[in-house]
Structure 1
């Protein structure tokens, strides 16, 4: 209690929880981690002199909560592979002291300073100018007076002289007596015009004696510099046309190139076109050669998740890789659809947006979602070398706060309608061994199961955006699409991914919008995925097994 700390991020600007805000520790909350260790969950900080009084219900005045967040560091191995290391921590720093750079703009009633390591007079000024008074300033040890008494450098004197001229030009312009011929729109241009008018020996009246110039020691005339030509670039998308000498495919670029620039045919990264490649952190080897087995340049490779061998993550890797592929193809549309589906998918879309913006890695987004699930049920979603059920994960991701479907019994020969008490609150459905041999056949059987006198009808309140089907022991075939009937309109949902399970490990196949099939295994393919051909090359039976593992969950998405 009482430890001085500094906030490192703009957590909530409306509550004065901004980057650089200072305070002291007022309390904390902690829990037990997966190894039984004490883990800090929330730190309560009493802000020092906030711009306004902060009152959060349940907390004392000016006390704010700082919660634990996940951060990721990239470690480069000797093999040139990038390994992301994620850790959860409360993002504050101990604040016993700070550098001159960090102290800029602050005012302190009590300001002890150490000038012995300051390298310039500007550093001296920054440290001392933070003091509110001379009485509150303590210089803790000696310093080098030559840094503030040795005279200014020629470059600095020139800078101050130019500022004096600009100050004079501003005053004349304000008074309305500046000649019309002094109309430059750049610093060097307007000073040169002023020197042409007044001469190089003219000096404003109030110039300090340390930077004065004269006829004997004139200020040199500003060199004539031609400003670079510029033009307004309108927002849009442009595809670079292949050069005559190069018939290979080039990448569509999501911006308009600057006039006069030379486009680069960056074929190596064509598999991640339209992405921010610096955010993907795909492990590569400098000596790796391109082979004929690599996917064509015009095919976009889905991003994968690197397996966490300490806290087994294969279930999350396989599921989130498929969902990120769906979301990435139209992030704006799918963000809205995720929000319409469930609260967990809303969180997931937010983390995906952070990945796309370059704030975090995809692995960090996975770990944040995993922490949420762990906090909901640490037994169902454990850490360490303990796997989780893929059906439980799918259930939690798609569960809704309100019923999404109803089941009823309807007579085939009269208007009798009997609602069933139980209602569905999730867009995941489970198969059994006594169902037709494909997902489509099973789906039609579920929607319209014919009994002797009555029909059992399942009606969704809204057409699902995402539908997951657990296969389990039924091992039914995998169909390419599901069909809903909305009045007289048929709504199709396309197959977008399959999660496979075997040997205590999950893998996945991603089917993109062009019906390319990609294989991902966080232990083998890492942050990439391998092209496995076209969807039409597979049958409902061959899709049930992939590299020795059986289909566990089939994922369909709305067109």
Structure 2
């Protein structure tokens, strides 16, 4: 009833303590600023007056001589309203509002403090303050933010008027603004933009800002260093490649996504695969496992896979120049990984947190691969009556979860081959034929599908046992087979992820960011290893299979 509520003291009850001191027993307060339709009535007290009684709290104190002292404190839990910060004042209305602006950080804090008053007559400025915080001009980042809002407003207006081109689109805000600024690259901002926000074609600052609007990029004012304290990034002690404390801030400002980042792709892949060193401060094993496989696939043919990554998703497009710079010795692999983590964290802070909490492979795959894209179109058909549905079914995205059905488990007690499961998964339906149902039959519809394209990367999640891994997965593209090879397996167990990378010639390499660091350990060739070798690794169970073209 009174938590956080402002009130006026109207009376109290007191008693005498054990040492003869005066002790406050009950404080009577009248609640302020209550809704007009709400009145609190307690028998024997005036309207909106409530009692705050003395409560006790108990603590045990450990003294220097290791003895314990029990302390009981009794107190009326109220806080004297002698002052309040601008942050705490947000959302409050004050009839008498004395303010001290001396230590306010900027003009926004001035606004919060002064706007709490309901009238100008009720506002009292206690002492002189610096007017520079109001007259020095708007910070670059705030002007950029307001300019983005103006652009989004204009996009909405054009969309409503039906004059927005179809190619101006984007799943995220940055993507949408990027496509809009590309369309308007040779035009000035509309005249209805606020004068402080309008930019002309010859405005050099505006051109610089437009170039920074790449997908998921973080914009910072040109030539202005961020005053935000960088977050410490730690790795194993004694690691020669430990990341400097200021690195994360640098990555966030410097690494953008754009075609100019692909000007110097290396062409000679290394023979021995490489991995990522585990980050002990911000647990990175999920990222290490997935990116170790993708990085070594990319190293097979950097020009080809750079193009594939750019076309696959914005995040893989962002990762490509980062890992390229690591390959060129311009930064460490861990710096490239952590730069990508910053982008992912900014997109979804709860899914990709920092600290010793980690994330799941499912979340990582869901943003690295466009799981909402489909590569096949199907129609429901009946083998009994010839019925074919009119509405096409979008199907087959690049991330599937392979779970054998109970019928498959009975038919394949030793396990079902992944390619067999996939074929049945794509053609299986639980829908009954509407035509046959009218005739009293219960025929089940099947799915006729046609592949429109084959994803360059295909990830299979293994939630249960019973799937026999296939070294290749093939898809029929109009009579021509497109083959994807098994290039990696991710393992989970004991709160940690590890990975195996499989080279084009079938050599299996094991990586654990804690134990093997940046190295990968050769384990043999798939041609000579047993069929169930990939099922587990060092006591951890396989949870994901990664297939790739080539």
Superposed counterparts of 1:296-311, under 5 Å: 300-311=271-282
Superposed counterparts of 1:111-126, under 5 Å: none
Q: 2:314 aligns with which of 324, 330, 343?
A: 343
Partner of 1:418: 389
Superposed counterparts of 1:309-320, under 5 Å: 309-320=280-291
- 1:71 and 1:364 in contact (8 A); partners too: no
Residues 1:408 and 2:399 are matched in the alignment:
no
Aligned in 2, Cα 1:389/1:422: closer, same or farther, shift over 3 Å?
Answer: farther
| Deviation of 1:356 (Å) | 2.4
Q: 2:421 aligns with which of 439, 442, 463?
A: 442
Q: 1:381 aligns with which of 344, 347, 352?
A: 352
After superposition, the C-alpha distances for 1:377-407 in whole angstroms (9 at most, x for unaligned) are 1111111111211112112111167543334
Alignment gaps of 5+ in structure 2: 1-104, 107-136, 143-195, 197-201, 211-218, 254-266, 409-414, 431-442
- 1:74 and 1:82 in contact (8 A); partners too: no
Residues 358-367 or 424-433, more deviating: 424-433
RMSD in angstroms over aligned alpha carbons? 4.2
Residues 1:552 and 2:543 are matched in the alignment:
yes
Aligned residue for 1:325, secondary structure, equals helix
Partner of 1:322: 293
Partner of 1:65: 221
Residues 441-450 or 495-504, more deviating: 441-450
Partner of 1:54: 204
Task: Please give the TM-score of this superposition, normalised by the length of structure 1.
Answer: 0.49
After superposition, the C-alpha distances for 1:120-142 in whole angstroms (9 at most, x for unaligned) are xxxxxxxxxxxxxxxxxxxxxxx
Aligned in 2, Cα 1:460/1:370: closer, same or farther, shift over 3 Å?
Answer: farther
Aligned residue for 2:357, secondary structure, equals coil
| Deviation of 1:78 (Å) | 9.8
Aligned residue for 1:324, secondary structure, equals helix
Alignment gaps of 5+ in structure 1: 3-23, 30-45, 47-51, 94-253, 255-272, 276-299
Q: 2:242 aligns with which of 80, 83, 89?
A: 83
Aligned in 2, Cα 1:504/1:404: closer, same or farther, shift over 3 Å?
Answer: same
Take 1:382 and 1:456, find their aligned partners in 2: how far apart are those partners?
40
After superposition, the C-alpha distances for 1:174-225 in whole angstroms (9 at most, x for unaligned) are xxxxxxxxxxxxxxxxxxxxxxxxxxxxxxxxxxxxxxxxxxxxxxxxxxxx
Partner of 2:335: 364
- 1:493 and 1:557 in contact (8 A); partners too: yes
Q: 2:402 aligns with which of 431, 437, 442?
A: 431
- 2:233 and 2:281 in contact (8 A); partners too: no
Partner of 2:110: none
| Deviation of 1:364 (Å) | 1.3
| Deviation of 1:541 (Å) | 2.5
- 1:408 and 1:456 in contact (8 A); partners too: yes
Superposed counterparts of 1:101-120, under 5 Å: none
Residues 1:536 and 2:527 are matched in the alignment:
yes
Superposed counterparts of 1:241-280, under 5 Å: 275=270
Aligned residue for 1:473, secondary structure, equals coil
- 1:72 and 1:361 in contact (8 A); partners too: no
Q: 1:398 aligns with which of 348, 369, 377?
A: 369
Q: 1:510 aligns with which of 501, 505, 517?
A: 501
Take 2:229 and 2:388, find their aligned partners in 1: how far apart are those partners?
52
Aligned in 2, Cα 1:392/1:408: closer, same or farther, shift over 3 Å?
Answer: farther
| Deviation of 1:414 (Å) | 6.5
Residues 1:471 and 2:462 are matched in the alignment:
yes
Q: 1:355 aligns with which of 326, 335, 340?
A: 326
- How many equivalent residue pairs? 316
| Deviation of 1:85 (Å) | 4.0
Aligned residue for 1:555, secondary structure, equals strand
Take 1:310 and 1:92, find their aligned partners in 2: how far apart are those partners?
19
Take 1:420 and 1:431, find their aligned partners in 2: how far apart are those partners?
26
| Deviation of 1:90 (Å) | 5.1
Take 1:78 and 1:502, find their aligned partners in 2: how far apart are those partners?
24
Aligned residue for 2:286, secondary structure, equals helix
Superposed counterparts of 1:40-189, under 5 Å: 53-56=203-206, 65-66=221-222, 81-85=240-244, 87-89=247-249
Partner of 1:455: 446
Take 1:381 and 1:73, find their aligned partners in 2: how far apart are those partners?
17
Aligned residue for 2:491, secondary structure, equals strand
- 1:449 and 1:455 in contact (8 A); partners too: yes
Partner of 2:5: none
Aligned in 2, Cα 1:55/1:541: closer, same or farther, shift over 3 Å?
Answer: same
Aligned residue for 1:468, secondary structure, equals strand
